[in-house]
Structure 1
Amino acid sequence: MNPRPLFSLRPVGYVVAACATAAAAAACRALDPALGPSLFLMPFVVPVLLAAWCGGGGAGACATALGAAAVAALFNDPVYRGGAADPARVGLLVGVGALVSLACESAHRRRRRAEAALGACHALLRLATDHAPVLLLHCDRERRHRFVNRAYAERFGLDPQEVLGKTVPEVLGPAGYDRIRERLDAALAGRAVEFETDMAGPGGGPRRVRCTCRPVVGAGGLVDGLVAAITDVTDRTRAEVALRDSEERFRAAMEASLDAVYFLSAERGPGGAITDFRFAELNRRGAELVRRPREQVLGRRLCELLPVSRTGGLFDRYARVAETGEPLAEDLTLGPDDGGAARWLRHQVVRLGDGVAVTTQDVTARKRSEELVLASLREKEVLLKEIHHRVKNNLQIVSALLDLQSEHTADPHALALFQESRGRVKSMALIHERLYRSADLARVDFSEYARQLADDLYRTYKVSGDDVRLELAVTVPPLPIDIAIPCGLLLNELMSNCFKHAFRDGAAGRIRVSLHRDGGANVLTVADDGTGFPAGTDFRNTASFGLQLVGTLVDQLGGAAALSAARGTTFTIRFPAQK
């Protein structure tokens, strides 16, 4: 670090020292003897003051030395015979000059430090204002710019130095100035002003700005000008407009909703647990549901407005949703309305912030309609059960009539015909009996039906289950009645053929019945390991009424039948599966 010199060096001070000393010497010669011996040295103090003030302590010391030399040379013998410049007076002059020089040097140094600090402050201020995200300016009473930051100047495509000295109308233009003239007048009148207006943007497009103006009060309390800070609020304004539009659309949607909508904010105790909820928002239907005007509901506590919500557990369920975030959907029943009837509500609750959003739909009309439909369905079920019961009874009567009629003939062929017809009637009656006893009046569990039909055929043909074993495998879902009746008749015909032809004279064997799904088709298989059909038999072209009936029933189902006579008889029937 370089040591600081004792005196600063300023050339102008030394010039002043020389000139002023010469002038002082001339003045002393001209005024002598008016000054007298005691005052003639005073003019030499003036050059010291001037030199020290202009050039610092060094120039003051120079002026002191020049003055002492001039006194010694000009005011002593033989030049000046008065002998005024004795050593004591010269020493006094040197002492006074030294003190004045040191005092001025100290003042110079303080001033330079103040100027340096002021310059640093100005530089820091310029740096801060030039990088500030706002536009800053200072105007005097004539509206001339005295200070602007870089952002303000660049907004108008100018350099800060180009703006200084120009008036506000010159920078903003007539149209821009007219928009803020009254506000500037108010600020220059001593009032603080805040306002929003449009200002030309960097690209020429309008930008929304917020301007804050404060008066600058000078000495005597007079307003010398104003300072202003201008913030671009275009994006914020657009966001506020978008938010306002969104809120209006949301409000319109809420009010148009047929559901009651509530927003509840949670209130928490010192431990953080939810102690209650407050109504933050609700729509018109919500106010109607609680039977109070909206203004009387907003801000109220849930348990205060509806005490039953705490005793009935509704508050606890709301708190659980707010804490866990798990949605809630439930049906509620309210007390009787003005007409004395109960009301049903569909209640859905989800977490929203530190609270819950509730939508409640009045489903009373739907519930009553459902009850009417269910009552009507129950009536129809009873009626349909009665129909199936009567059809079953009528078919049993027909079967009984055939049985009675068979008692009046001894012809074996006629008896066989009566027996076959009675079996067919029983197979249809069994379908209606199963439907009558089933909870589903439109579909039949074919597995149970096939087993019961087989039991009837065992009794009809007086066959023991030990001699002819039945293997039953039904994996299809319950069949519609229009499919179950043809399938039942088919099963009756094919199993009857097994008992009549495959196991004659008490022969033992096995009958296998299966009904399963294969892709989009149902496959019914009836197989036995009995004597089988003769080779070359075409079951489609036969005089047997039973086999003709099989073909007709297969056509009714829209299917196809195949016969295999290898190691017994196997009938395979494929027909479309209904959904």
Structure 2
Amino acid sequence: MRTLKNQYLIRIYLPKSSTGYREKNGEVRWVREVFQKLPKDSGTSGQFQGFVHDITERKKAEDTLRKIEEARIKEIHHRIKNNLQVISSLLSLEAERFSDRKMFEAFRESQNRVASMALIHEELYKGDDIDTLDFAAYLRKLTADLLNSYLVGNDNISLKLDLEQVNFGMDTAIPLGIIVNELVSNSLKHAFPEGEGGEIRISLSRAAKPASKTGHSVEGMGCERGFDYTLMVADNGRGIPETVDFKTVDSLGLQLVNILVEQIDGCIELKRDQGTKFVVGINVAESADV
């Protein structure tokens, strides 16, 4: 910000720019500067000519409109979050009507999926950015809610998070949130025999090499290289048998994971080493990463 002593005294020459000045009374004025270099045959070679136009009122109007639009979008997120929470509550009430364990689990899984989406809209409503989400902060809340949902009275399973701060747009955040919801839920339900303990690990980090931007892993590198980011969800439980192909297994949760990975143009692979380890490669638009 520069102090404006004289409205017509300009010290910096730019082809075209908008600049803020602070007057002696503290008021900020915005001006549009337009300058051009005088031609050599004008007799004043090396000098500039141009004009300065006061655009303070237009700038104020633009700022007002921007704030109104941000408030409108935040209100939309708030309403979507409230509606999703109502749906989640209805699913919870409906689940209590069933004595059949499988039916109860199906409703609870649907409730958690809806809750994972509601949490994204809640974070966007509360945050400073209306377009992108701090995905690491979101994962901390999502996984804490999942542990509370599945591990009532059981403190033997621990959660270890290693999350790099990353901002994702909604087109990436929502499907990726559901993917994490499904993988962590599977670990909590199936990885550890009744009453036994263990550990679930989740990491999110930038890829070691620049993405190929093709939507596929670099040959021979798998999902941990050749993408913008790598997400890992692992546990040290009983593991998935070698005879089971997670991409064709008759499981709604894993079918949903594969569909959503394809939707975000990503990559997923399963490693069966001392438990279960899913690695997801993620590509994001340049504007989504802040």
- In which range does the TM-score fall when normalised by the shorter chain? 0.7 to 0.9
Query: Quick one: which of 102, 108, 119 aligns to 1:419?
Result: 108
Residue 146 of structure 2 corresponds to residue 457 of structure 1: yes
* CA positional deviation for 1:509: 1.0
Query: Quick one: which of 536, 555, 560 aligns to 2:267?
Result: 560
Write the distance in 2 (CA, Å) between the matches of 1:399 and 1:530.
29
* Within-5 A mapping of 1:95-174: none
Q: For 2:23, what is the secondary structure of its paired residue?
A: strand
* CA positional deviation for 1:508: 1.1
Per the alignment, residue 525 of structure 1 pairs with 232
Per the alignment, residue 22 of structure 2 pairs with 332
Residue 224 of structure 2 corresponds to residue 535 of structure 1: no
Distance 1:330 1:391, change over 3 A: closer
Per the alignment, residue 388 of structure 1 pairs with 77
Structure 1 contact 330–346 (Cα < 8 Å) conserved: no
Write the distance in 2 (CA, Å) between the matches of 1:461 and 1:481.
27
Q: For 1:506, what is the secondary structure of its paired residue?
A: coil
Per the alignment, residue 15 of structure 2 pairs with none
CA RMSD of aligned residues (A): 2.8
Per the alignment, residue 571 of structure 1 pairs with 278
Per the alignment, residue 133 of structure 2 pairs with 444
Write the distance in 1 (CA, Å) between the matches of 2:10 and 2:161.
61
- Provide the TM-score with structure 2 as the length reference: 0.76
Write the distance in 2 (CA, Å) between the matches of 1:452 and 1:342.
42
Could you give the per-residue CA deviations for residues 40-92 of structure 1, whole angstroms, max 9, x where no partner exists? Answer: xxxxxxxxxxxxxxxxxxxxxxxxxxxxxxxxxxxxxxxxxxxxxxxxxxxxx
Could you give the per-residue CA deviations for residues 384-437 of structure 1, whole angstroms, max 9, x where no partner exists? Answer: 111101100000000011011112221111101000000000000000000010
Could you give the per-residue CA deviations for residues 123-176 of structure 1, whole angstroms, max 9, x where no partner exists? Answer: xxxxxxxxxxxxxxxxxxxxxxxxxxxxxxxxxxxxxxxxxxxxxxxxxxxxxx
Query: Quick one: which of 543, 548, 551 aligns to 2:255?
Result: 548
* CA positional deviation for 1:571: 0.3
Distance 1:515 1:342, change over 3 A: closer
Write the distance in 2 (CA, Å) between the matches of 1:330 and 1:545.
57
Structure 1 contact 333–344 (Cα < 8 Å) conserved: no
Structure 2 contact 20–29 (Cα < 8 Å) conserved: no
Distance 1:370 1:261, change over 3 A: closer
Structure 1 contact 345–361 (Cα < 8 Å) conserved: no
Q: Which has the larger radius of gyration?
A: 1
Structure 1 contact 447–474 (Cα < 8 Å) conserved: yes
Structure 1 contact 333–345 (Cα < 8 Å) conserved: no
Structure 1 contact 528–568 (Cα < 8 Å) conserved: yes
Structure 2 contact 136–166 (Cα < 8 Å) conserved: no
Per the alignment, residue 200 of structure 2 pairs with 511
Could you give the per-residue CA deviations for residues 417-466 of structure 1, whole angstroms, max 9, x where no partner exists? Answer: 00000000000000000001000011111111111001110111025785
Distance 1:465 1:371, change over 3 A: farther
* CA positional deviation for 1:477: 2.3
Structure richer in helix, relative to its length: 1
Per the alignment, residue 215 of structure 2 pairs with none
Distance 1:413 1:368, change over 3 A: same
Distance 1:490 1:439, change over 3 A: same
Percent identity, aligned pairs only?
38
Q: For 1:504, what is the secondary structure of its paired residue?
A: coil
Q: What letter corresponds to residue 189 of structure 2 in structure 1?
A: K
Q: Report the count of equivalent residues.
A: 240
Write the distance in 1 (CA, Å) between the matches of 2:140 and 2:154.
12
Residue 54 of structure 2 corresponds to residue 364 of structure 1: yes
Distance 1:465 1:435, change over 3 A: farther
Per the alignment, residue 496 of structure 1 pairs with 185
- Provide the TM-score with structure 1 as the length reference: 0.39
Could you give the per-residue CA deviations for residues 95-119 of structure 1, whole angstroms, max 9, x where no partner exists? Answer: xxxxxxxxxxxxxxxxxxxxxxxxx
| Unpaired runs of at least 5, structure 2 | 1-6, 12-18, 34-46, 212-226
| Unpaired runs of at least 5, structure 1 | 1-258, 264-328, 336-340, 348-356
Q: What letter corresponds to residue 436 of structure 1 in structure 2?
A: Y
* CA positional deviation for 1:568: 0.3
